[in-house]
Chain A
Amino acid sequence: MKLLKPSWVSHNGKPIFSVDIHPDGTKFATGGQGEDSGKVMIWNMAPVLRDEDEKNENIPKMLCQMDNHLACVNCVRWSNNGLYLASGGDDKLVMVWKRAAFIGPSTVFGSSSKLANVEQWRCVTILRNHTGDVMDVAWSPHDVWLASCSVDNTIVIWNARKFPEMVTCLRGHTGLVKGLTWDPVGKYIASQADDHSLRVWRTVDWQMEANITKPFNECGGTTHVLRLSWSPDGQYLVSAHAMNNSGPTAQIVERDGWKTNMDFVGHRKAVTVVKFNPKIFKKKQKNGSAPKPGCPYCCCAVGSKDRSLSVWLTSLKRPLVVIHDLFDKSIMDISWTLTGLGMLVCSMDGTVAYLDFSLDELGDPLNEEEKNSIHQNIYGKSLAITSTEAQLSTTIIENPEMLKYQQERQSSAQQANSGPSGARPESSAPKLNSVMNGESLEDIRKNLLKKQVETRTPDGRRRITPLCIAQLDTGDFSPALFNSAPILPSGSSMSNQLTSQLSSDSSPGQASSLGLRPGHEPMLTSPPANSAAKGLEDGVKSTLLLTSASKIEPMKALDSRFTERSKATPGVTATISSIVGLVPLDSRPKDGVSALKDLKSKDDTSSDSEDKMASINKNLSFSKRKPELLMDGGDGVVEKRKKGRPRKDKMAAPTAQPFTQISPPVEREPSRVAAPPAPVAALKLPTPSIKKAFSLQVSMEPSVFLEVENEVSLVAGSKLSQLRCSRDGRDWNTLLPSSVVTAAGSSDVIAVACQDRMLSVFSSCGRRLLPAIQLATPASALHCSAHFVMALTAGATLSVWDVQRQKALVKNESLLTILSGADTTVSQSLLTQHGVPVIGLSNGKSYCFSSSLETWTLIADKGDSMVQCADFRSCLPSHDAPVSSGPLAVMQGRNLNAGRLASRLSSTPHHLQQSMTLAFLENQLASALTLQSAQEYRYWLLIYARFLVNEGSEHRLRELCKELLGPVHKSAATAWEPTTLGLRKRELLREVLPVIVENLRFQRLFTEYQDQLELLRNK
């Protein structure tokens, strides 16, 4: 082990609270106290690692420093992908930094150090929610979330994909929360607080999984931080400060049952930080000795208030090494390199130490594959899904076709990369140019004064429009997000935050203006005066007599002017701008007040609108069953039908004609045929009430309107109803002997159901196509599509007729099979272009009646957890419209729930999710097939194929290809159909093959089928 204390890593002697090594190992960040602010610094790792680099003047040591935190920075953490740095501090803020691509080296303007910032890191988002100092921040595996904990006793989970969105706030700790660690598997997050507890929270529902208090009961006193850590295999969680027999320990908590049987003992004072080595090790094989399958173990570093550091291997009973007196003050943070052999430790005394271990000391680190297989064994889930790609990069491409595809893919990927995303360093230069129209900065500067736009405001003031020389590359975070008001869990917390901010602004300010100002004065004045003199010596001509006291005196007086606020202004007003200040003086306070009012009213309205939203939501949940809402997105088949057409289900009626419900039932009108008041028990489904008149559009193209007027005339004591239809301007009308209850139509047929349970079908020109059909019970819903007519009766039976072939497709099929449960009703019904009837139920299930199978088949279930957990978004075709349209999409709702919960990817075991997605996709395929929806079948087939390719399921993929290809040689015996739903299967295969190419592993499969397809084409 080598030990090094790079003295140049310092915050000018101020405490360093946190250190973190970048995942790529080239740099590290420190966080701590700055001059008057918090400070984050980014350092070059090379001078730490290599002596010659340290001595080389050309290799920068400090890469960037950021003074933006207003108070001490307690924690800095790189995201796992290395793109972002998160910092949390006493100013209650979490800042997320990203490297700015477009800027070269620069200094902090006016800063004392002439050291240039070699890299530019810019704050891309500020996360505000905590009401106290932020003590620790942690990125979840895969950078899905960022967690921060604070002395306000809470932990906030931020959506790292959509800053500054907050996922949740974990409450439960009753003391200052001082440490966080994510389970490497992503199932839990653990926190340790001053309330003598360590809590484990589930990421599935963000509820508490365990509250461990026993080892912490004895803990007295406080440590600044309690940075706990989770072992890389996920099996152990090790706490900071715990007590065992009145001795300070680091408690080991087992994942299995959260047992607390073991601990790391030996430190004389409280443990402040524990950090596991990211690698899992196995015993080093000695040369010549027989390879023994040693048990893998982990390595853990423990830092304490007693200023000492211990490093443990889980395979040893005693520490590997203990280093005393490394620092003058408490250890604050530890960070391992990703290789597992280097470690940086920082201390309150403002220094940093680097420890370099050898493989002999720690053992052989397992490679990612071995580590994954350990995870796979324990959790059934691999952490690195992407690792296969890396392995495959060495695979030889065996087929020219394959090579072509691969090259095409790469070039298109490159294009996509270089296109819109300007954040890459390579593309930064053209981007900058585009802003400046190709002019160099020097050119611009020469003419800036002439070129810049200067206007006068109405009150006569000069107003300059600054020249934008570079846009901010805000990267993943949309700048719009910053302006939008943060969505806070409750309205009150926002105002709290605001007021506290404001009060903290003003009150200490007042106090300090009295007490601190004099203290500042001498400190600030004397040294600058001297240096000013020196500066003048350099800058101004040397003839100037600077040594004389008289020259320095005024400067001392002047010095205060630099730092004190504009008391300057109450001087003699310049003649030039006598009107300058007048207007703002008048207007500003008013502005201020109105701004305040605005703010308040905004608060009000926001809470108002929240209420409104809530009520709307309520409405929504009520009206969930309203077909209108569900049908909105429908097109394809459905677009032929018309919104607002009275649908016969219970819910449709109120939607379309809300008043009919209120108006007394139609019975008051004694109907002629005495509409058989069928036994109420038999009426499962509601029937629409009869209206005096209604109209609807049944088809858009050609546009067909239906108008129904009931009881137009009385002939021989019977009331006649009129049905009028206009199609592309041509009208026809016909009379019916009974009141029309409901009507429907398509471009081909028009169907009306009357009160006397008669169903009449007309052609688009008004010709009666079928004699009146007598229904067993009154019609509940009627649909037409192409030349199919579907009737749903109040007796919960379904019939579908093919008018063209004058045949029944579905004959009085009972819905009782699917209407299980007391309050299930039909919420939606529709008929596809191919005459397949689909019934949506209020319980979220949708069925279609398959006439070939003569049975009800389930095609969609909104409550299906599989649907919710399936994650196939990565398999969505990028160029296609992301949403398929068709009956399946209609029934499942536009915003298919699929993948909604999948964002919790890391919470569900991978293999489980994989199976769920597979099951879901296969369901979709089967449903599309039953619905005879060719478009959707193709859509889902491609997604399915892509999923199989990504997940590497060769057997399924092969079966799929085989089915699509069919027998190469025709024989009478094969029952293979060359088409499915009118799509040629081999054409589908041709579409699937490029998908297969994306995984090199399947190149043999690809070649095999590519060849056969070629063969068939040549035949």
Chain B
Amino acid sequence: MAKVQVLNVAVLDNPSRFGNPFQFEITFECMEDLPEDLEWKIIYVGSAESEEYDQILDSVLVGPVPAGRHMFVFQADAPNTGLIPESDAVGVTVVLITCTYRGQEFIRIGYYVNNEYTEPELRENPPIKPDYTQLQRNILASNPRVTRFHINWEGCAERMEDCENVDPSSNSMLPPSCLPGKAPSLGILPDNSMDYL
């Protein structure tokens, strides 16, 4: 079973202006002392159409994590507007919080995000070039989508080794932010995906 259970994520400063940093207050519980840090990431989905436009807003290490219940605030800067397709600036998208341990993702928390103009006129007639200063970001905090993955908590030695042996070239092609443990070829199914109603 998972050694780390996320008990709650509170979305702070919401709704807020588009340019404000994201703030999530994360409460989690750990069954036993973790020898390694947890790695948390906030990923902003720039466009529903393609993963190309995903941005990792930030990643932090969290540790040391002794057995017990802990909380921290994960703050990350707003997405780089230059990397968002103009057509997708306004509307519904998703922000993801993921946590990995020893390079393996074991939980993914997703929120719908709605970006809209606060001014009625702008809403009626949105400019062709999005005006990010006028955009308001609203995270649908009441409905997180939580997916849990079954990982090997005791270590990932063999898997990592495999990864290295099997496909080193593809690894080197991957952007630096992609850890080999998550390579899709390893395909670990979500062991426990919970959808809200």
Interface residues of A, Cβ cutoff 8 Å to B: 35-37, 67-70, 93, 95, 103, 106, 108-112, 123, 126, 444-445, 448-449, 452, 454, 457, 461-472, 474, 479, 482-483, 501-502, 505-506, 509-510, 512-514, 516-517, 524, 527-528, 531-532, 535-536, 538-541, 543-544, 551, 554-555, 557-558, 561-563, 565-582, 584-585, 588-589, 591-593, 595-596, 599
Question: Residues of A contacting B114 with CB < 8 Å?
Answer: 536, 540, 544
Q: Which residues of B contact A502 (CB under 8 A)?
A: 152, 158-159
Minimum distance in angstroms from A133 CB to a CB of chain B? 16
Instruction: Evaluate contact between B138 and A462: CB separation under 8 angstroms.
Output: no
Q: How far is the CA of A561 from the CA of B64 in the complex (A)?
A: 30
Looking at the complex, which one of B10, B46, B141 makes contact with A571 (CB distance below 8 Å)? B46
Are B176 and A573 in contact, with the CB atoms below 8 A? yes
CB distance from A832 to the nearest CB of B (A): 50
Return B186 CB to nearest CB of chain A, in Å: 6
* Inter-chain contacts of A514 with B (CB < 8 A): 187
A532 to chain B, nearest CB (A): 6
Q: Is B86 at the interface (CB under 8 A from chain A)?
A: no
B195 within 8 A of A: yes
**Chain B residues positioned under 8 Å from A69 (CB to CB):** 1
Within 8 A of A (CB), among B113-130: 114, 116, 123
User: Does B65 lie within 8 Å of A510, measured CB to CB?
Assistant: no
Q: Which A residues lie within 8 Å of B71 (CB)?
A: 444-445, 448, 466-467, 469
Query: How many whole Å from A436's CB to the nearest CB in chain B?
Result: 11
Total A-B residue contacts, Cβ distance less than 8 Å: 351
Once the chains are docked, how many angstroms separate the CA of A554 from the CA of B174?
26
Q: How far is the CA of A882 from the CA of B43 in the complex (A)?
A: 59
- 7 closest residue pairs by CB, A with B: A513-B187, A110-B146, A592-B160, A571-B54, A596-B157, A581-B177, A466-B70
Contact B74 A510 (CB under 8 A): no
Chain A's closest residue to B36 (CB) is A591
Residue among A95, A510, A544, A557 making CB contact with B116, cutoff 8 Å:
A544
Chain A residues with CB below 8 A from B6, complex form: 109-110
Q: Which residues of B contact A528 (CB under 8 A)?
A: 145, 195-196
Q: With the chains together, A656 CA to B30 CA distance in Å? A: 52
A95 B189 Cβ-Cβ under 8 A: no
Whether B67 and A562, one on each chain, are in contact in the complex, defined by CB atoms closer than 8 angstroms, is no
Whether the pair A565, B68 counts as a contact (CB closer than 8 A) is no
B54 A580 Cβ-Cβ under 8 A: no
The 18 sampled A-B contact pairs (Cβ below 8 Å) are A112-B195, A466-B65, A469-B69, A470-B68, A502-B158, A510-B185, A536-B92, A539-B140, A539-B142, A566-B105, A566-B178, A568-B45, A574-B55, A580-B59, A585-B174, A592-B157, A593-B161, A593-B164
Given pairs A109-B144, A466-B28, A592-B159, 6 additional interface contacts (CB within 8 A): A448-B73, A479-B67, A536-B140, A541-B116, A558-B112, A599-B155
Q: Are A565 and B159 in contact (CB under 8 A)?
A: no
A571 pairs with B181, CB closer than 8 A: no
Known: A558-B92, A581-B177. A469 touches B1 (CB 8 A): no
Interface residues of B in 60-84 (CB under 8 A from A): 60-77, 79-80, 83
Chain B: minimal CB distance from A508 (Å)? 8
Q: How far is the CA of A469 from the CA of B142 in the complex (A)?
A: 23
Q: Mark B149-176, 1 if CB is under 8 A from A, else 0.
A: 1101011111111111000000100111
Which residue of B has the minimal Cβ distance to A582? B176
Bound CA span A528–B195, Å: 7
Interface size on B, residues (CB 8 A): 121
Residue among A106, A558, A569, A576 making CB contact with B43, cutoff 8 Å: A569
Q: How far is the CA of A463 from the CA of B63 in the complex (A)?
A: 7
Q: Which of B18-58 contact A (CB under 8 A)?
A: 23, 25, 27-29, 31-33, 37, 39, 41, 43-46, 48-58
Which residues of B are found within 8 Å of A551, using beta-carbon distances? 91-92
* Chain B positions within 8 Å of A535 at CB level: 112, 140, 142-143, 196
CA gap between A936 and B149 in the complex, in Å: 61
A509 & B188 in contact (Cβ 8 Å cutoff): yes
Whether B58 contacts A576 by the Cβ 8 Å rule is: yes
Q: Is the Cβ of B45 less than 8 Å from the Cβ of A558?
A: yes
Q: Of the candidates B1, B51, B63, B171, which one forms a contact with A123 in the assembled complex, judged by CB atoms under 8 Å apart?
A: B1
Measured between C-beta atoms, what is the minimum distance from A662 to chain B in Å? 49
Residues of chain B within 8 A (CB-CB) of A568 are 43, 45, 51, 54, 96
A463-B37, A528-B196 known; A37 vs B54 contact (CB < 8 Å)? no
| Cα(A599)–Cα(B33), bound, Å | 18
Instruction: Report how far A589 CA is from B104 CA in the complex, Å.
Output: 12
Known: A483-B33, A581-B179, A584-B179. A448 touches B72 (CB 8 A): yes
When distances are taken between beta carbons in the complex, the residues of chain B under 8 Å from A584 are 39, 103, 179
Please judge, given known A-B contacts A448-B73, A506-B159, A535-B143, whether A37 and B192 are in contact too, CB under 8 Å.
Answer: yes
A574: which of B52, B65, B79 is its contact (CB, 8 Å)? Answer: B79
C-alpha spacing A562/B27, complex, angstroms: 20
**B84's closest neighbor in chain A, by CB?**
A572
Say yes or no: A109 contacts B62, CB within 8 Å.
no
Cβ-defined contact, B33 with A110, below 8 A: no
Cβ contacts under 8 Å, B52 to chain A: 571-572
Please indicate the chain B residues that have their CB under 8 angstroms from the CB of A569 in the complex.
43, 54, 56, 175, 177-178, 182
CB distance from B147 to the nearest CB of A (A): 5
B73 touches A452 (CB 8 A): yes
Min CB gap B115→A, angstroms? 11
By a CB distance below 8 angstroms, the chain B residues around A464 are 60-62, 72, 74
> Shortest CB–CB separation between residue B174 and chain A, in angstroms?
6
**B144 surroundings in chain A (CB, below 8 A):** 109-110
Cα distance A510–B163 when bound, in Å?
13
Measured CB to CB, the closest approach of chain A to B76, in angstroms, equals 8
Asked if residues B156 and A70 are in contact (CB atoms below 8 Å), the reply is no
The residue in chain B whose Cβ has the minimal distance to the Cβ of A543 is B123
Decide: B191 and A445 in contact? CB cutoff 8 A: no
**A468: which of B59, B66, B92, B188 is its contact (CB, 8 Å)?**
B66
Q: How far is the CA of A599 from the CA of B192 in the complex (A)?
A: 29
A463 touches B160 (CB 8 A): no
- For A579, the chain B residues whose CB sits under 8 A away are 176
B143 and A532 form a contact (CB under 8 A): yes
Contact residues in A for B62 (Cβ distance below 8 Å): 463-466
